[in-house]
Structure 1
Amino acid sequence: MTAHNGRWRLRHPGEKAFLAFGLLACAVALPTWPGAVLSGGTAAALLLGPARVSAVVLLRAARVPVLFVTTSAVPLLVAVQPSGGVSWNPNGAGEALTATGRALAALLCLLLFSATTPLSDVIPRLRRLGVPAAVTEVAGVTYRMIFLLVDSLRTVREAQAARLGYRSWRTAYRSLAGQAAAVFVRAFARARRLEEGLALRGYAGSLAVQVEPRRVSPGFVAATLALLAAVVVASLRLRGPS
């Protein structure tokens, strides 16, 4: 709900995409130090500052990807010998830090876009970029169904907890199995109702969606260009001659 209620909710998605993916390009193309660090730090500062995204929400959204990134960097610390043995990689620490820093910077840049731009604002505009209607409609339906399934999952879990379904490991496993079965049945039923509803409304292969008009702010675009240029220049200066 942060993207729907955020301070940048009414900005054009293209503006935010230009800012976020511009910083992402800097994080990928520039050296990890200081390019990726500056790009990720700028994205984090924008999220917590002008975008007014709560730090709690940001940490909650980033905790699983951060765990995945850090655990994925661990194998870089060791090297597999031709004989099949495993030894310490002398260059592993630097490689792990480089990969982790660049991945975390890219994650913050992506969160800058996803935490400020609802998917409902992005999907209808993808058609103007040449994305087939079938792809955007499947994405929109999937996006909607995710929230319905999460709501169903929460309802079933609360009902099971009220019946002491998680008082022990045995009952917890039984409740989880019943929860999966119940959510599957509900998902199947909702999908069938959705198909019947579209057929009754004369669905002919495309859905007409009203897109709220948004104007691109020249000031925001100019500020983004200046910010990206500042990140590049600062990275090159701090990096120094190679």
Structure 2
Amino acid sequence: MLAIDAAAYASPWRRVHPAVKGVFFGGLLVCALALPTWPAAPLVAAVALTAALGPARVSPRAFARAAWGPLLFILTGSLTLLVTVGGPQGAIAFDPDGPARAAEIIGRAAAAVCCQLLFALTTPLADLLPRLTRIGLPAALVETVALIYRMLFVTLDSAHRIQTAQAGRLGYSHRRAWVRSVGALGAALFVRSYDRAQRMQRGLECRGYTGELTVLVDELSLRPAAVSAAALPSVLVAAATVSYMFLGAGL
């Protein structure tokens, strides 16, 4: 099981309806993207982290392991805003407005990433996918995503087994052997995945597959009061941001 899935299944918020968590983290995500970066981005990140590390009891280590990759990508991508290309000779020069724009991009994107990751760390995909058809998503699309999600674990297990066998035969002892082993690993995974997909299709057809996979979904209570409470933090963040803008304009 992936670390992010293990954290989602261990979270106390797993028993909370995905719609409630979607309103909570989705509303904060909209605030991070639509409102001015300052102070909306820090407020969104603070509210999301407080809720996740507090009541949801998300492991800080699990969040750090899941967030370092996207945050590093955001940081390195924003470095290009520090320079400008132009002039008569097309020279590369420092952009005086670059640091402010880079800080805005980092703040907005980091807050948005926090909302998305914390939703994933509290909501197992197996609890979310079956409910997506109820909001109008095509059943074929949802089932394709579910099958890919389930096949992912089988593929990762196969890759681990093949890599262990290759390492036992000194397949990674030097650079040339490493390149050859990685190529063989990729080829074997492709062949096995294709064969497994064909066998899965034949198995579904033999069981009378009619175009829809019926799965058992845990019934979770969805109360209007819970949805309203989940939307309250986003409203407060928006109100605080608007008040800050008016105060700043007045000064």
Using structure 2 for the length normalisation, give the TM-score. 0.91
SS of the residue corresponding to residue 86 of structure 1 reads strand
The match for 1:29 is 34
Structure 1 residue 182 corresponds to structure 2 residue 188: yes
CA distance in 2, matches of 1:157, 1:112: 32
| Per-residue CA distance 1:191-236 (angstroms, 9 max, x = gap) | 1111111011011111122222111145533432332232223333
Q: How many residues align?
A: 242
Written as runs of structure 1 = structure 2, the 5 A alignment for 1:109-148 is 109-148=115-154
* Identity between Structure 1 and Structure 2 (%): 43
After superposing on structure 2, the runs of 4+ consecutive aligned residues of structure 1 that deviate more than 4 Å are: none
- The AA in structure 2 aligned to 1:68 is F
Q: Is the 8 A contact 1:38 1:231 kept in 2?
A: yes
1:241 corresponds to which of 220, 223, 248: 248
Structure 1 residue 173 corresponds to structure 2 residue 179: yes
CA distance in 1, matches of 2:175, 2:48: 43
Structure 1 residue 85 corresponds to structure 2 residue 91: yes
Q: Is the 8 A contact 2:29 2:116 kept in 1?
A: yes
Cα RMSD after superposing both structures: 1.5
The match for 1:9 is 14
- The AA in structure 1 aligned to 2:81 is L
Using structure 1 for the length normalisation, give the TM-score. 0.94
SS of the residue corresponding to residue 15 of structure 2 reads coil
Structure 1 residue 64 corresponds to structure 2 residue 75: no
- The AA in structure 1 aligned to 2:179 is Y
SS of the residue corresponding to residue 84 of structure 2 reads strand
2:215 corresponds to which of 199, 203, 209: 209
CA distance in 1, matches of 2:121, 2:230: 18
SS of the residue corresponding to residue 87 of structure 1 reads strand
The match for 1:51 is 56
Tell me, which stretches of 5 or more residues in structure 2 are unaligned? 1-5
1:231 corresponds to which of 211, 232, 237: 237
